[in-house]
Structure 1
């Protein structure tokens, strides 16, 4: 039908086939539509799950999850203790160093003695850490109450 002989001519009805997508639709329209709807639902579901995981990661680990308290980072929950320690260390480095040295001096003989407890030593270490953490939190609570009383923030300590 084409005089040029380039092979672009239609030689018969067999050459007039539908694209594979249309062939799938004409062979089973119900399955085609169901597959299209299900694939859309799955894409939406995976996108939502991915978004939720990203938000949780941002809240927990911040905008740079590989580093703690990175410069310019949006801080996450895991970054808060590091940021507080950096800020307290920078503001009152001498006092902070003295407090940490005092805690280390207090803990060193206890940890050395607990090392001889055998299998119970991890429990002793955890118990010591829990007691010290409780004491520090109690002291911080008292400091907040004192500061609130000095600033006359009524209702906080009542």
Structure 2
């Protein structure tokens, strides 16, 4: 019973791994910037601060003062054809005789599959893949026989 209520365990990563990654990053950045002079490093730093600061100020201004934003709605589409359920009229048969005969023939075919070895495998696979199929066929036959007598 307790196996059902196991906690989702987090994967623990050794803190030394983070230090190793940090050390590799520092070494890589040092090799990239070792050829630059102090003046060029200072220019890159000032450029970085100006760009990131201006982006931040722009986002803050746009968030506070701009009212013309586009809000996208994610709607669920519902096909209206499936919402309208028409009541069957008493004069029109819901299931034509030809379709009923096809269903009856299919039912006979399914029943005949039980008698052979290979057919039994097919019958079992049909009942496993479509568990409600045989019940539906019986229901349709009974419905047709009670409402539309041959």
Greater helix share, structure number? 1
TM bucket by the smaller chain?
Answer: under 0.3
Structure with greater contact order relative to length (CA < 8 Å, sep ≥ 6): 2
The structure having more radius of gyration, on CA atoms, is 2
The TM-score, its normalising length taken from structure 1, stands at 0.27
